[in-house]
Amino acid sequence: MGIVGTGFIGPHHIDAVRRLGFVDVVAVAEMNDALAKSKAEALGVPKAYGNYEAMLDDPDVQVVHNTTPNYLHFPVNAAVIAKGKHIVSDKPLALTADQARQLRDQANKAGVVNAVTFSYRGNPLVQQMRHAIAAGQIGTPRFIFGHYLQDWLLKDTDYSWRLEPEKGGASSALGDIGSHWCDLAQHVTGLRITHVLGEISTVVPRRKRPKGNREAFAAAGADEAFDLVDIKVEDLASVMVRFDNGARGTFTVGQVCAGHKNDCFVEVCGSTASMRWVQEEQNQLWIGRRDKANEILAKDPSLIDPAVQSYAHMPGGHQEGWPDAFSNIMRDIYGFIASGKKASDARPPAYASFEDGYRANVIVESILESARAGSVWTKVNY
């Protein structure tokens, strides 16, 4: 495995892959030689490349992870596929739906394994929820709702490349975390979002952009120099959705909501019961009932369905978390690669493909289109 980009999320990809035990992390590529060398040393990776093109020529690198800022997803993913190597891209798959479609088609034509890290699919109770809903345990899904709220952009001194359309895309909150929510809601229900009605806003319209470098999600330093810049992308969005079985839904995303750190939840109300999974309390699954007491199912391999037991690694009462879910995703992806399957073969559930990444890009673009048109119902054209 070789990885391009070793900022916030890159080292978590390395950690998740190392935990599998059958993959060697052989190389990192960064923006320049010095950074690549220092990151490789810090992460204990043998080879360092100051540009990703050089790493792609390394025959020891068979699978490439792309954990660069969004604007580099398209060129890096395309270059990896052109070399005939397997690609694991972080989300969003590309800046636009058109770019994402090109990547999906290019990967399918080349026959390389292509994955997008929609990480919440790897949680044991997300898989339990998906399995239970598919088995009819809550009846027909009728209403699917939730939110994904964070607070790291609350202050006008908070800043990230995610706020610059050329680097992050035409959307900020929706592309960054709305893409996760849409994938999660569709994954647990097995349904497709067909129509959206979006209302978006920029509640912090001017921000202090630091003149120097600042690590992802870090707060501003006391005497940091800055430029005052206008923000053109949304930091808050509320969306009504329709699913392909006629179910209705609604969700809000925002990164300007104090106290909400990584507050993602999804609830599905079915014709006989409801089910809710909350990321910040991810070892519990709430089951709502009409004619008997509600239940809380604690994550416990002996209590969840045998079909999804392999996603839980610790006995009941031993909490599992975000890195464990991330490693589960890598297990599904690399298990698929190691068994020599073709990209077109049926995939394990926690492995989201470029097709899934493309769909998330299309949904986000449709929400922006809806909002631009005055918040009107808009068909999602995949």
Ligand X SMILES: NC(=O)c1ccc[n+]([C@@H]2O[C@H](COP(=O)([O-])OP(=O)(O)OC[C@H]3O[C@@H](n4cnc5c(N)ncnc54)[C@H](O)[C@@H]3O)[C@@H](O)[C@H]2O)c1
The contact set with ligand X (CB under 6 A) reads 4-10, 29-31, 52, 67-70, 72, 90-91, 117, 119, 176, 216
* Residue 326: CB minimum distance to ligand X, A: 8
* Residue 265: CB minimum distance to ligand X, A: 16
What CA–CA distance (Å, rounded) separates 211 from 214?
A: 9
Using omega within 30 degrees of 0 as the cis cutoff, is the peptide bond preceding 210 cis? no
Note whether 263 and 279 are within 8 A (CB). Answer: yes
Closest residue by beta carbon to ligand X: 7
Note whether 157 and 94 are within 8 A (CB). Answer: no
> What residue type is 228 in one-letter code?
L
C-beta of 243 vs 311, nearer to ligand X: 311
* Residue 290: CB minimum distance to ligand X, A: 35
* Residue 175: CB minimum distance to ligand X, A: 8
C-beta of 99 vs 378, nearer to ligand X: 99
C-beta of 176 vs 365, nearer to ligand X: 176
C-beta of 19 vs 142, nearer to ligand X: 19
* Residue 72: CB minimum distance to ligand X, A: 6
C-beta of 160 vs 252, nearer to ligand X: 160
Note whether 297 and 129 are within 8 A (CB). Answer: no
> What residue type is 253 in one-letter code?
V
H-assigned helices in the chain: 10-18, 33-43, 52-56, 73-82, 97-110, 124-134, 165-168, 173, 179-189, 322-338, 354-372
DSSP strand pairing (295-298 vs 284-289): antiparallel
The residue to which tokens 């999602």 are assigned: 380
Please, what is the Cα angle at 150 between 241 and 124, to 5 degrees? 70
Note whether 112 and 335 are within 8 A (CB). Answer: no
DSSP strand pairing (141-149 vs 263-270): antiparallel
> What residue type is 24 in one-letter code?
D
C-beta of 117 vs 202, nearer to ligand X: 117
C-beta of 215 vs 291, nearer to ligand X: 215
